[in-house]
A = this chain, B = another copy of it.
Amino acid sequence: MQLLDGNKVAGIIKAEIAEEVMSIAAAGGKIPHLAAILVGNDGGSESYVANKVKDCEQVGFKSTLIRLESSVSESKLIEHISKLNNDPEIDGFIVQLPLPKHISEHKIIEAIDPGKDVDGFHPINIGRTVIGLPSYISATPFGILQLLSHYKIETAGKNCVVIGRSNIVGRPVSILLSQKGFDCTVTVCHSRTKNISSYTKNADIIIAALGQPEFLKANMVKEGSIIIDVGTTRVKSSSAKSGFKLTGDVAFDEVSKKCSFITPVPGGVGPMTRVGLLKNTLLAAKKVIYP
């Protein structure tokens, strides 16, 4: 069994990005600049955004954090978005989700200029991904694909089971892996799937993205399979200093004995997701997707 080491691969990609930023700077070009809008002060969102800012610093990007009160109106938030859409200094930006209940997330996402939508959540980017046009691919699917490709995992003709049909992980990764170039035969399982084992037992590649700690057990996977664990649930732990540990959707101890490759949690998909946003920001700065 080999670990798919997200920390290591993310480090390599970040170093490549940092190098590219240095050569842009050396040539007197514009330094990539990511902005993030954070509404309210939800603990999870605070730390996600803080990490994103830190990642930007590490690779030499500029970053701007815009903090808004949780009471901000939808129209006021859209005003901020319009300003970022029209600001040539900002290459790409994100609006950290979730948003307060009085604001429509869909409306907010559709207000973002697709060319600056480095989260890849705008329907136009999703639609372009589906039909195979250049697009910003959202960070987690992007990270998973990069990880598979780094470890030279053959995907063509493989039976791939994705567990979970969320708009930001399960659905897009299932579409991407089924497309030309990856060529997996992909099955999407979800909460209404009957006898999920009958699918996972035949899978060469399993992507677990349902958010249910240790859902995937050894008796559900076949010998030699490849396991990507997207789950990150905080579970109480007496051994952890914080009293919590991040737990994946895969029962790592037992499944890792049976599979050929597996991502750890933490240190697998997580760091790759963070790098996905950086990569999209670089693409935005270089105007690769929307020339």
Contacts and interface: CB of A to CB of B under 8 A. Distances in A.
Most buried by B among A122, A127, A178, A179: A127
Nearest to A160: B187
A11 interface: no
A125 B130 CA distance: 11
Most buried by B among A106, A128, A130, A183: A130
* Pairs A-B, 3 closest by C-beta atoms: A123-B127, A127-B127, A126-B127
16 contacts: A106-B131, A123-B126, A123-B127, A123-B131, A126-B130, A127-B127, A127-B128, A130-B171, A130-B175, A131-B167, A171-B175, A178-B188, A178-B190, A185-B190, A185-B193, A187-B187
Interface in A129-167: 130-133, 156-157, 159, 165, 167
How many copies of the chain does the oligomer comprise? Answer: 2
A13 interface: no
A128 B109 CA distance: 12
Nearest to A177: B188
A124 interface: yes
A157 B126 contact: no
Nearest to A106: B133
Contact of A127 (B125, B132, B188): B125
Most buried by B among A123, A126, A187: A123
A194 interface: yes
A192 interface: yes
A130 B130 contact: yes
Contacts of A159: 194
A188 B185 contact: yes
